[in-house]
Amino acid sequence: MSEYLPKEVREGLELARKRSLRKKSRLRLRVGDEVFPVLKLWEDGFALDSENAPHLRGLVDVYDGSRHLYQCLIVTSEEEAGQTRYDFKRATEVKKTAPLDFVRGENAPVALITG
């Protein structure tokens, strides 16, 4: 069906599709001081708009609004339909507390109170 539409109409439709993806997604990719909107995120990677997306490689941070979700090691995968896809080599979920190096008992005290 798209081959029957004039080139200008197809470009307009593609532009509108990209805008709607950017508006829907609160996800952002942070590389140093640069921030890029994430169009799609899945288990093994994510996609950025090809117009603004550099060929990234290395350590990046993924945010949902202001909430830090993942610290990732990435590599550029491929370009397809105006989107550049990136694959995760490692995606570590960011926790609010440091990991414990021991098993905490179910009924363990939270703090020591001396009186």
What percent of the chain has pLDDT above 90? Answer: 23
> What is the spatial distance between Cα 3 and Cα 54, in angstroms, rounded to a whole number?
30
What percent of the chain has pLDDT above 70? Answer: 88
Domains and CATH numbers, the chain: 2-93 (2.40.10)
Residue 20 φ/ψ, nearest 5 degrees: -65, -35
> What is the spatial distance between Cα 20 and Cα 9, in angstroms, rounded to a whole number?
17
Residues 6+ apart with CB under 8 A from 78: 84, 85
Render pLDDT for 63-93 as a digit per residue (tens, 0 to 9).
Answer: 988 899 999 999 988 888 788 999 999 999 8
15 or 106, higher pLDDT = 106
Of 19, 14, 31, nearest in space to 86 by CA: 31
Of 108, 110, 106, 50, nearest in space to 77 by CA: 50
Q: What's the pTM?
A: 0.66
Cβ-contact 62, 28 below 8 angstroms? yes
